[in-house]
Structure formats: structure tokens, C-alpha cells
Amino acid sequence: MAIAAVEVQVLSSALHEGSPRRPFFVAGIPACATPAGLITSMPMAYAIAGEPAVGALGPFVAELRAALEDLGFERTEADEAALVVNVVDRARPRPFRRRSRGTFVAALHVLDASPPDPLREGYPVLVRALANLSLAFVPGEGVWFTTLERGSYLVPDARAVAARLAPLARSRLVIDNEFRPDLEPELWGGDEITASIAEAGRRLDTLGLLPAPFPVEELVDANDLRHIKRLYGIGGLSYGNLSARKDETRFWMSASGVDKARLETPGRDILLVSGYDAEHARIVLSVPPGIEPRRVSVDAIEHWRIYREHPDVGAILHVHAWLEGIPATEVNFPCGTEELAANVAELLAAEPDPDHAVIGLRNHGITATGASLEEILDRVAPRLLAQVPMS
């Protein structure tokens, strides 16, 4: 791989410094537990920042303001907002520098016509603007969403944009790690489970299921690259993750920021998840002393919930591919959020055999459960579609 590999989901959810986003409650129930797609009327602050909205963009921004306020959002200053729509020049997008991890940023720009490749058009803007989403407004056609998970899809108008943004901005991130140097000495060099994860990563590469990352170093200058690495705790973009159960309460999982075809060092490239600190929204990791670990995959909260609720699940695989006829999430919540984990867990529990199931993540990919990673790949690989449907 030409650049340092970093899992895209961490970029999506480690976007800000400070405290994690607080959950919203409706009748005593966290918003993450409400049905997928439900938008509450709970007040939430938003702001329009960046360049002046001129030309055709002006009326669109006015419509977007009205649509957000109809959904319960209240206008405020950008530094105080939980949702910031940052208007940027596509050729020279200026980042909105967050002061809080709870700020969700969408980079809004205008195009004269829909591009031949919306993903390749929108992704550099997203990265350069240090945003969660890129929104490309095409007058008379709609708005192209581009996500960090390589999703790209068209919505028709400002109201549809607001309806898509609202649940994403209200989601709660679980991306902090607590490293405890308490890994048993006999596991410092790994075990048969870490070996199976490494082998599965190589198999994913052979199957062409590890898409080439976008070259971040080619998209931002040296100063922004340093900011990205400091802000996100990462160094590039890669996709997918793997995990396998160690015992009743722990599981091994691939790290963020590592080429999944080269999972070489246990405690650095493959990490033992030993707990979840819900109060502080932190994944607890057991690591060997004297090693500088990477962050665990941001999907750890989703895997943790699945292993906890389904004790016979032995392994979990997430790839950016698709299967026909599978149940799928309705809202493309960012990876690493409680909402996505809850949505996947709800769909999984409804399956006839949750221990051997495949759940679709809208505009993103799949999460598959099984007895082992080898069993999952044997079962799903022949039916995988490389193209994830976008809607």
C-alpha cells in the first residue's frame, strides 16, 4: 500500500477533540434506541459557516435552514453548534476547525452538473475540508452526499438533506480507547485466534475485498496532514475489519490504521478488547507492556454489542461489499456510533439464526457473523457483490 493505511471509520468518528457527543433522550429512552429513521423534536444547535452562499446556493441554504429548524434545530454560532454546514469553495475548501468532538460537519459546495464519478468528485472535498460528509449541490438535480465510508448518493432537495443530516448529527460516538498493560504474558505473541485473523485478512486481500484507499497525502498539504494525524490519531484511509472471540467477555480485533492484509503484530495490529466503559464511551483494550498499540477499529462498539448479546457468535467480519436479499439499516449512521451498533444489533436479533447472519449497512457494506472468520468467508464470499447499492 502506497500510503499509511488507516481505517476510514476512525476518520469518520474521531473527527473532533474533547468530550464525546451526549445522547439525546425521548421519554427516558436514548435517541440511539429509537427506531431507525426517527427524528426527534429535541432542540439541537446548528450553524451555517464558511464561504458566503452566493448564486443558486443562496436559496438552497435558506431552504436548508428552514428544513433543519422544522426538525427542531436551533440556529447558533458555529463554535457552539452540534451540526455545522460549512460552505466551501470546491477548488480550495477551507476546513471548519472544531472545538468539540460533538460537532458534526458537512462540507457544502456547488457543482454545475452531476459529475461522472460523484465519489471521486466529493471525496477530496470531504478530506480537505476535514468534514464528516461532502454535500455537492447541483441546481435542478439535487445534492450528492459523499461519506467517509465511500458512500455516494443523490437526494432531491433541502428537506431530504436535512432529514438525512438530523439523525447523523444526533448520534453518539464511541471511539476513545483505554489501553491497559495487563495482557497475559502467554498472549503477548498472539495465539491461534490472532493467527486466524491475520489469515482472514490475507484472504480478503486475495478476494479483492480490501479496496485501495484514497491517497490522503495527495489531497491535503503537509500542515493539514499533520492536523489530520493529530486530530484523528491516524495516518491514512483503509476499509473493513475483522474480529474473533477469545472467551466469554473478550475478543481479538483488527486495529485501525493497518493494512488488513498485513496484520503482523498482536498488541499493535490485532488488539484484545476486554471491556467497554459506557460512562466515558471508551473501549477498554488489554495490551502487552512496552509496545505502542494502534487504536482498535472504530467498529469495536458494534462487535462488542454483538458478542455480548449472542454468546455463540465466534467471529465477525465487516467489508465494503454487498449481498442480495439481506436486511439492512435504514439510516447510514457513522461507524463508531451507538446508533449504528444498536441498529445492527436489532436487525441481527430478528434473524432466524443470528449466529450465522449477514446484515447490510446502508450505503456502506455488510456485517457478517459466524463460528469463525474462515466459516464466514466460506459462506459469503461466493455471493458477495463488490458494488454496494446507494440510495
For residue range 360-371, list pLDDT tens digits in order.
999 889 999 999
From CA 366, how far away is CA 328, in angstroms rounded? 8
Q: 63 in a domain, yes or no?
A: yes
Residue pair 357/348 in contact by the 8 Å Cβ criterion: yes
Domain annotation covers residue 338? yes
The model's confidence at residue 28, banded by pLDDT at 50, 70 and 90, is very low
CATH code: domain of residue 224: 3.40.225.10
What pTM, to 2 d.p., does this model score?
0.80
Same domain, 135 and 200: no
Q: Is 252 in contact with 269 (CB distance < 8 Å)?
A: no
- Is residue 270 within 8 Å of 254, Cβ to Cβ? yes
Lowest mean pLDDT among 10-19, 136-145, 202-211: 10-19
**Structural domain includes residue 225:** yes
pLDDT digits (tens, 9 = 90+) for 369-391: 999 999 999 999 999 998 888 87
Helix, strand, coil content of the chain in percent (nearest 5): 30, 25, 45
Instruction: Based on the fold, state whether residues 161 and 202 are members of the same structural domain.
Output: no
What's the Cα-to-Cα distance from 42 to each of 161, 170, 268, rounded to whole Å?
A: 18, 10, 41
The pLDDT, as a whole number, for residue 3 is 28
In a domain, 108, yes or no: yes
pLDDT band at 14 (very low <50, low <70, confident <90, very high): very low
Query: CA of 248: how far to CAs of 256, 287, 312, 374, in Å?
Result: 24, 18, 9, 20
* Residues 269 and 231 reside in one and the same domain: yes
**Sign of the C-alpha dihedral computed for residues 158, 161, 165 and 167 taken in this order:** positive
The CATH number linked to 113 is 3.40.50.10300
Ramachandran bin of 336, using left for φ above 0, alpha for ψ from -120 to 50, beta for the remaining angles: left
The answer for residues whose C-beta is within 8 angstroms of residue 36's C-beta and 6 or more apart is 329, 330, 331, 343, 346
Which residues are bridge partners to 282 per DSSP? 176, 277
182 and 165 co-located in one domain: no
Average confidence score pLDDT of the chain: 83
The pLDDT of residue 247: 97
Looking at the domain assignment, is residue 322 inside a domain?
yes
Q: Say whether pLDDT at 150 is over 90.
A: no
Q: Are residues 243 and 285 in the same domain?
A: yes
Residue 357 has pLDDT above 50, yes or no: yes
- How many separate domains does the chain show? 2
**Residue with more model confidence, 363 or 33:** 363
Query: What pLDDT digit, counting tens, does each position of 229-275 carry?
Result: 555 444 445 568 999 999 999 999 999 878 899 999 999 999 999 99
Could you tell me what percent of the chain has a pLDDT over 90? 58
Residues 233 and 372 in one domain: yes
DSSP string, 166-211: HHHHT--B--EEEEES---GGGTT--HHHHHHHHHHHHHHHTT-SP
**Of 131, 149, 169, which residue is a domain's last?**
169
Residue 28 within a domain: no
The answer, yes or no, to whether residue 39 has pLDDT greater than 90, is no
Helices (H) and strands (E) in the chain, counts: 10, 17
pLDDT higher than 60, residue 137: yes
Residue 359, exposed/middle/buried by CB under 10 A (0-12, 13-18, 19+)?
A: buried
Res. 187: pLDDT tops 90: yes
Of 103-117, 154-168, 209-223, 309-323, the one with minimum mean pLDDT is 209-223
Mean pLDDT within 130-151:
90
User: Is residue 130 domain-shared with residue 277, that is, in the same domain?
Assistant: no
Of 169, 197, 216, which residue sits at a domain end? 169
**Would you call 109 exposed, middle or buried from its count of C-beta atoms within 10 A (0-12, 13-18, 19+)?**
buried
What is the pLDDT at residue 154? 95
- The mean pLDDT of 104-116, rounded to a whole number, is 94
**DSSP, res 351:** S
| Torsion of Cα atoms, 144 then 148 then 150 then 152, to 10° | -10
* Sign of the dihedral through C-alpha 251, 254, 257, 262: positive
- Give the structural domain span for 96: 43-169
Domain assignment of residue 31, yes or no: no
Query: Looking at residue 227, what is its pLDDT?
Result: 57
Residues 115 and 69 in one domain: yes
Q: Are 122 and 87 in contact (CB under 8 A)?
A: no
154, 169, 184: which is the final residue of a domain? 169
Same domain, 194 and 313: yes
Q: Residue 35 falls within a domain, yes or no?
A: no
Instruction: Say yes or no: 220 and 336 in one domain.
Output: yes
- Asked if 118 and 232 sit in the same domain, the reply is no
335-345 confidence digits (pLDDT tens): 888 999 999 99
Name residues whose C-beta falls within 8 Å of residue 82's C-beta, 6 or more positions apart in sequence. Answer: 21, 44, 45, 46, 102, 103, 104, 169, 170
Q: Do 165 and 183 share a domain, yes or no?
A: no
